[in-house]
């Protein structure tokens, strides 16, 4: 992933996390209110309809684990016994498992109008069943012949056809298939006008389905957000907590599934595995957050993990309920231990984080105990709304709020550190900038001084030399006026060459040659030498630097001076042309005269050395050839290619 993508992901995760932190603080208390309202809303609504609807709390039950014949035939050979509803199979000794028939009877109430349609509402029955009214089937859930099916406990509602109702002795027969591990049984049933009873069913179904949907969506959002934090920022606690939240969200999705995607018992084993892993991972993240992880906690978490990985699978393979029951007791004991650690820490520390965790642990433990004891093991609580799915929600909200606060506290600390660091960097940058400005100013001053010294040296070597010679000629009575004028012209041209370097304008080689032509022609004409100028169109060439222009002028000036002083020539020919072959390309300047040549010169000095130094400075090739008579000097600007 590129750096820009990582920065975008971090920004997105942080912005979403900040929003979720604000929502958690308010949604936490909202969940408390919803759970407290939902726990007693159904009973309160039913009590308000007392006298207008019929509550069926007595039934006869016939139980036979191996009976699979149709209800109308099976009921003739079974022994019936009275039972009070709700009837939970876990509460029996030994626990029931398999098939049971429930027979409920009722008479019509005088308050019902003839145009009223009746409705049957059953809060809980599990997990596959069919309903018959006066021998006529009116509804079912799941395929009764498919033992591999497994359905969640949902509220059930059925319209009772008026044509099969009798004024007296109406009989409801429920064929219930279930297993001990899924807490099968039958709650009380409600019969009454559709306009009164169906809202009870709709409210209970909406509350149960909507509550499951809220838990699933919120758990997945918080889990994915925590996973994003953990992955992007490398935070182990956030990552473990995110896995726990995702496992819990996926586990509670079974309450929204009508047809399980996996056959029984493996669908139930998968749900149990997600349930146990969510509890183990959440307990681990809480202990890491409180820094309470020790050898005892490692043993407890290890026992919970091993039990989660082994015992639900053993139950699904063997059907022995003790495996699942003992696994749940192990989880409950581990949760109680972790809750005790949280409460002890909250009592000793008493800050926002510990208080939030302690309160959420108390609520979660209370809801879990309520489900495991009051609902699953007490027959009277079988029809009540299960609240264990909300237990984890409070822990999720508390942990997400705590982790978000820590993350943003770290982010704010990092921001303050960056501000202080940026302030220091700005001060250091100002000092460096001031030091750099002073150095730059000093460098410019040194460059200006060097340029002045160079100009003075050139004027000394050029103009000064001519002035000295002119001074000597003035003092010498034998010097002619023509010689002095010639020397004065040479000094003027040398001064012009020095001043040309001050222009600082980019010039092509052709422009340089054009300006040099007047200078060279003037000097040579005063010496009585004819100039022949042959310069071709050189085309596109790189612009020479000012330093290269200066060396080029000095080199040509040295060449012309040597011709005037030593060659005794009458003609000088200057040629400039492009040259290109297989090995090199560029352009060449050729200066030739018809004088005495190198062999006839009687001078010695530093002229040739100066010419080579100038050529080397501008990266040119210098070649001097004796032509008998005359001398040829070639200055080549050639590059390989």
Least confident of 63-72, 188-197, 595-604: 63-72
What mean pLDDT is predicted for residues 254-269? 76
pLDDT at 158: 93
Report yes or no: 570 and 611 within 8 Å, Cβ to Cβ: no
Nearest to 245 by CA among 279, 211, 286: 279
Q: What is the mean pLDDT of the chain?
A: 78
What mean pLDDT is predicted for residues 458-470? 66
CA–CA separation, 298 and 311 (whole Å):
19
Q: Is the pTM of this model over 0.85?
A: no
Question: Is the pLDDT at 121 greater than 80, yes or no?
Answer: yes
Model pLDDT for residues 392-448, shown as the tens digit of each residue? 778 777 777 777 777 778 778 888 898 999 999 999 989 998 888 888 888 888 887
CA–CA separation, 122 and 127 (whole Å):
13
Name the residue with higher pLDDT: 308 or 98: 308
CATH number of 504-640: 3.30.565.10
Q: Would you kindly state where each structural domain of the chain is located, as residue ranges? A: 48-203, 265-386, 504-640
Torsion angle in degrees (nearest 10) through CA of 350, 354, 355, 361: -140
Model pLDDT for residues 232-257, shown as the tens digit of each residue? 777 788 888 889 889 988 888 877 77
Confidence band (pLDDT; 50, 70, 90) for 22?
very low
Least confident of 24-28, 387-391, 518-522: 24-28
Helix, strand or coil for residue 292?
A: coil
Strands of the sheet with 87-88, listed across from one edge: 87-88, 185-186, 125-126
Question: Is the pLDDT at 308 greater than 90, yes or no?
Answer: yes
What mean pLDDT is predicted for residues 85-114? 79
Confidence band (pLDDT; 50, 70, 90) for 128?
confident
Least confident of 214-223, 414-423, 448-457: 448-457
Nearest to 245 by CA among 284, 207, 278, 287: 278
Confidence band (pLDDT; 50, 70, 90) for 574?
very high
Report yes or no: 542 and 586 within 8 Å, Cβ to Cβ: no
**DSSP assignment, residue 641?**
-
Q: Any residues with CB less than 8 A from the CB of 640 and at least 6 apart, and which?
A: 583, 584
State which of 9-13, 344-348, 474-478 shows the largest mean pLDDT: 344-348
Confidence band (pLDDT; 50, 70, 90) for 67?
low
Q: Which two tokens stand for residue 567?
A: 């060659």
Q: Any residues with CB less than 8 A from the CB of 437 and at least 6 apart, and which?
A: none
CA–CA separation, 239 and 163 (whole Å):
60
Name the residue with higher pLDDT: 155 or 450: 155
pLDDT at 110: 56
CA–CA separation, 211 and 266 (whole Å):
25
Report yes or no: 563 and 569 within 8 Å, Cβ to Cβ: yes
CA–CA separation, 69 and 513 (whole Å):
119
Burial of 274 (0-12, 13-18, 19+ CB in 10 A): buried
CATH classification of 48-203 is 2.60.120.260, yes or no?
yes
Q: Which two tokens stand for residue 254?
A: 């079974």
Q: Which two tokens stand for residue 337?
A: 């231990």
Neighbours of 414 (CB within 10 A): 11
Helix, strand or coil for residue 16?
A: helix
Confidence band (pLDDT; 50, 70, 90) for 576?
very high
CA–CA separation, 297 and 285 (whole Å):
12
End-to-end, the C-alpha distance of the chain in Å comes to: 44
Burial of 368 (0-12, 13-18, 19+ CB in 10 A): buried
Nearest to 134 by CA among 154, 153, 120: 120
State how far the alpha carbon of 530 is from the alpha carbons of 446, 564, 572, 574, in Å: 44, 11, 6, 11
Q: What is the 3-state secondary structure (H, E, C) of 462-473?
A: HHHHHHHHHHHH
């Amino acid at each position: 992933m590129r750096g820009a993508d990582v920065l975008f992901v971090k920004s997105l995760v942080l912005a979403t996390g900040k929003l979720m932190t604000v929502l958690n603080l308010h949604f936490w208390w909202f969940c408390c209110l919803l759970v407290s309202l939902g726990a007693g809303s159904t009973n309160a609504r039913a009590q308000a309809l007392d006298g207008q609807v019929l509550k069926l709390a007595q039934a006869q039950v016939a139980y036979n684990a191996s009976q699979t014949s149709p209800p109308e035939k099976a009921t003739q050979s079974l022994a019936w016994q009275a039972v009070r509803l709700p009837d939970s199979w876990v509460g029996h000794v030994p626990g029931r498992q398999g098939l049971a028939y429930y027979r409920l009877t009722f008479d019509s109430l005088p308050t019902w109008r003839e145009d009223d349609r009746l409705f049957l509402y059953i809060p809980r029955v599990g997990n596959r069943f069919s309903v018959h009214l006066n021998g006529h089937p009116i509804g079912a859930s799941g395929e009764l012949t498919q033992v591999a099916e497994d359905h969640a406990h949902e509220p059930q509602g059925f319209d009772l056809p008026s044509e099969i109702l009798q004024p007296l002795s109406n009989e409801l027969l429920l064929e219930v298939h279930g297993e001990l591990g899924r807490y099968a049984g039958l709650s009380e049933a409600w019969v009454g006008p559709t306009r009164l009873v169906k809202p009870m069913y709709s409210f209970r179904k909406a509350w149960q389905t909507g509550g499951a949907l809220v838990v699933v969506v919120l758990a997945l959002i918080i889990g994915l957000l925590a996973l994003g934090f953990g992955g992007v920022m490398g935070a182990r606690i956030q990552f473990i907590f995110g896995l726990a939240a995702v496992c819990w969200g996926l586990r509670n999705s079974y309450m929204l599934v009508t047809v399980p995607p996996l056959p029984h018992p493996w669908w139930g084993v998968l749900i149990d595995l997600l349930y146990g892993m969510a509890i183990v991972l959440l307990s681990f993240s809480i202990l890491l957050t409180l820094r309470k992880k020790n050898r005892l906690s490692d043993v407890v978490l290890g026992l919970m993990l091993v039990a989660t990985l082994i015992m639900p699978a053993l139950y699904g393979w063997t059907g022995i309920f003790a495996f699942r029951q003992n696994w749940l007791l192990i989880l409950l004991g581990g949760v109680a231990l972790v809750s005790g650690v949280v409460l002890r820490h909250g009592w000793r520390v008493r800050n926002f984080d510990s208080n939030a965790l302690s309160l959420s642990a108390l609520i979660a433990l209370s809801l879990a105990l309520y489900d495991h004891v009051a609902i699953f093991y007490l027959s009277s609580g079988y029809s009540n709304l299960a609240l264990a799915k909300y237990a984890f929600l409070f822990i999720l909200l508390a942990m997400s709020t705590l982790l978000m606060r820590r993350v943003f506290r770290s982010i704010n600390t990092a921001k303050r550190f960056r501000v202080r660091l940026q302030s220091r960097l700005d001060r250091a940058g100002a000092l460096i900038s001031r030091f750099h400005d002073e150095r730059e100013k000093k460098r410019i001053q040194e460059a200006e001084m060097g340029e002045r010294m160079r100009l003075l040296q050139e004027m000394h070597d050029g103009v000064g030399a001519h002035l000295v010679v002119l001074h000597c000629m003035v003092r010498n009575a034998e010097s002619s006026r023509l010689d002095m004028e010639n020397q004065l012209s040479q000094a003027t041209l040398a001064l012009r060459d020095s001043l040309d370097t001050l222009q600082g304008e980019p010039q092509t080689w052709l422009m340089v040659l054009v300006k040099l032509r007047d200078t060279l022609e003037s000097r040579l004409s005063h010496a009585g030498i004819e100039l022949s100028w042959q310069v071709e169109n050189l085309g596109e060439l790189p612009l020479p630097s000012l330093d290269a222009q200066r060396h080029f002028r000095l080199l040509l000036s040295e060449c012309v001076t040597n011709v005037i002083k030593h060659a005794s020539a009458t003609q000088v020919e200057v040629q400039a042309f492009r040259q290109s072959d297989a090995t090199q390309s560029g352009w060449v300047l050729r200066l030739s005269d018809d004088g005495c040549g190198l062999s006839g010169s009687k001078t010695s000095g530093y002229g040739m050395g100066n010419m080579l130094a100038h050529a080397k400075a501008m990266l040119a090739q210098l070649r001097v050839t004796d032509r008998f008579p005359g001398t040829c000097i070639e200055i080549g600007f050639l590059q390989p290619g």
